[in-house]
A and B are shown apart, each in its own frame.
Chain A
């Protein structure tokens, strides 16, 4: 079945460092891809999405490009802030139910 694999955390960075969180997927069709973020004490929020190959999703300085050839959707940010500390989940939606299949999450800790 469909699945998502993302890099294990925690990832610890200094403020203004470059961030990459790797995400790869397995799907039989042409899924939509998502990054969700969970800030401490809060619910899941959609960060960005891409619905077809070569699409780039972006929001709040974060970017991810839908790479069909490598089945990847890596999350990047050029300069992280302390306020970016959270758990990040990669997810896909691959059928008519639109149910989400999530990776296990990557905790990001940004130090001042």
Chain B
């Protein structure tokens, strides 16, 4: 499968713990995006990378959130000191030159 992959698919954690998600984009896609989707809502933009450079961060991305894309390939999204309000589906998408973003299956985070 050459699509966007995300790991893990599900994560249950206790409040205050740190979690890290991984996204592997489609090979050679230079842009990678993170979104967050809560129940009954559309995805909301969090941040994006062009190659290894993080070019934009949403105001939704508090100081507890950090994202990296070393070497411009896979990306990680870390949430420190998780809160119940962080419970959501975290989506990753990648894009090359066409206008289409290809989405991964998402990581569902539940904070107890």
Contacts and interface: CB of A to CB of B under 8 A. Distances in A.
Contacts of B56: 97, 99
Given A43-B105, A97-B55, A97-B56, A91 B99 contact: no
B85 interface: no
Size band of the A side of the interface?
A: 20 to 34
A98 B94 CA distance: 11
Q: Is the interface of A mostly helix, strand, loop or mixed?
A: strand
Nearest to B56: A97
B45 to A, nearest CB: 5
Contact of B103 (A4, A45, A99): A45
Interface of B: 31, 33, 35, 40-45, 48, 55-56, 91, 93, 95, 99-106
Contact of B33 (A42, A49, A99): A99
Contact of B91 (A44, A91, A97, A103): A44
Contacts of A46: 100-102
A101 interface: yes
Contact of B99 (A32, A44, A45, A104): A32
Interface in A62-112: 89, 91, 93, 97-105
A101 B56 CA distance: 14
